[in-house]
Structure 1
Amino acid sequence: MSILHSHQPIEKIIDKSSDALYVQIVERIRQWIRTGQLKEGDQLPSERELAEIFDVSRVPVREALKILEFLGAVQHVKGKGVFVQKIDVNQVIGSIDFLMSDPVHTLFDLFEARETIEVQATHLAALRRTDEDIMTIKAAIVEMEQNIEMGLDVSEASGKFHAAVIAAAHNVVISKIYGLLADLLSYSRHQSLKNPERHEIALGYHKQILQNIVAGDAEAAVAVAKEHLSRAKEVIAKG
């Protein structure tokens, strides 16, 4: 049953003067899941219906749904809608709590984590990469180029690039840590690539990193990776 037609009261967003309306929407949907108003496998109301419920535009609704999808709480099924994931809901809610407790500072913390993990992985990838690793990294770059040309979201392709570099490091512990943080790191990447003007810039960094990995130049690859993440963090700081 749609939450729109449930007999339980729907609490609207009160503080519409806040710049973080999407955070409040995430919190409300989290409450619906926690209290059982939305259960695993249930379909969420459409963007239009959610905007109606919260008395806001579709923009913060869309942003909230993206965050929930990145964190694994919901899944968008093309042509059907958005559904609550059939997973460990308590674990997902914990991730949401962590992220939403202080979104801006959490993003900075995530970038520091990315710098720690990805820079070291880039160094190792330049020393250990195989021909197969290089092909996988190149494929991610090609996908990103195609998405830019078609005006599509590039954050997923960017994520594939970074995951391929992690894999090319051939370090089991780094891969495991990266996997555990995958959803949150995906969110940080999405936030830094929201502006289409950033897409070509990020692509340029990716190509430079690949070039240095192929050349086996660990020092140069690390320098580019650091600059890439530093610039992305600056974008987040500007809001």
Structure 2
Amino acid sequence: MKITPIRKRKRVYQEIIEQIKTAVATGEVQPGDKLPSERALSEMLSVSRTSVKEALTVLKASGVIHIKPGVGAFLVQDSPQRLQVKLADLLQEKETALVELIELRQAIEGDAAYYAAKRITSRQKENLLAVFERLVAIEEQGTVAVEEDYQFHLAIIEAANNPLMRDVMNLISDNMLRVLAKNQEASERNERFQGEIAEEHRNIYEAIINGKPQEARKAMWQHFQGVKQRHVKERGSMVDD
């Protein structure tokens, strides 16, 4: 009996990245070239703009593209070979690494929330409020709030006023975006997930603003526990499909 390994089904955003990788390999697009717009890619590939946005977020976080506001997304100026290596790495992502990253952030950002509740300055409170309001506005639309979610967590890390914490989080910022993209994609597929994430963010925000360090740490820890559980459930639903 001849048996071949079962390949995991790729997510839509991975299929989009695969198409870009092929275009780079064939020379259809060159380093520095502008990619089609989100709408154009969505129509060309017959996928949702949400999936295109997720793919672009991952590509940006991985240093494959850079985005000029109001202009579009461009491949970075690098050799085609190096771009293909970066793209291949994205497509060979290990599932266990994602869970481990969530747990790392759970530990670090739990303490960041604790210290933010104790040390946040007036200016940082204003910034956190502005970021939180933008996040809420996007969440209420039911769309993927990857960038807003990232800015929310970044504002909390800044408010902890611990330069080493900020440096550590900067080192894993690319992977942070990958976790956020997956968490937000799962929420968009499940209305209950959307409500859970919104409530978790509000609990974190209110604990920090009200100067309750223990509650802030607990709220942040529970948020990442939710991220991990939603990720596991989402993976399970894909297998069952």
Alignment partner of 1:219 out of 214, 220, 230:
214
How high is the TM-score relative to the length of structure 2? Answer: 0.74
Provide closer, same or farther for how the CA distance between residues 174 and 149 of structure 1 changes in structure 2, counting only shifts above 3 A: same
Change (3 A) 1:47 1:202: same
Match of 1:107 among 98, 104, 110: 98
Tell me what 2:47 maps to: 58
Contact 1:73 1:93 in 2 (8 A): no
State yes or no: 1:237 paired with 2:228.
no
State the distance in 2 between where 1:70 and 1:178 align.
Answer: 13
- Counterpart code for 2:47: R
The RMSD of aligned alpha carbons is 3.4
Structure 2 gap segments, 5+ residues each: 1-5, 235-241
Query: Quick one: which amino acid aligns to residue 213 of structure 2?
Result: A
Kept in 1: contact 2:131–2:148 (CA 8 A): yes
Residues 94 and 130 from structure 1, CA distance in 2 versus in 1: closer, same or farther, beyond 3 angstroms?
farther
How far apart in 2 are the matches of 1:94 and 1:108? 23
C-alpha distance in structure 2 between counterparts of 1:227 and 1:144, whole Å? 19
The counterpart of 1:162, out of the listed 136, 140, 153, is: 153
Which stretches in structure 1 are left out of the alignment for 5+ residues?
1-14, 52-56
Give the match for residue 119 of structure 2.
Answer: 128
Q: How many residues align?
A: 220
Q: Partners of 1:223 and 1:193 in 2: how far apart?
A: 21
Say if 2:186 is the partner of 1:191. no
Partners of 1:47 and 1:61 within 8 A in 2 = no
Quote the residue 2:41 is aligned against: 47
**Superposed displacement of residue 102, structure 1:** 3.0
Q: Please identify, of 72-81 and 219-228, the stretch whose mean Cα deviation from structure 2 is larger.
A: 72-81
Residue 239 (structure 2) aligns with: none
d(CA) in 2 for partners of 1:72, 1:228: 28
Inter-partner Cα distance in structure 1 for 2:141 and 2:15: 32
1:143 aligns with 134
Q: Aligned to 1:82, what secondary structure does the other structure show?
A: strand
Deviations 1:86-139 (A, max 9, x none): 479888776655543234223212212211221121121122111111111111
Question: Could you tell me the TM-score, scaled by structure 1's length?
Answer: 0.75
More moved, 127-136 vs 66-75: 66-75
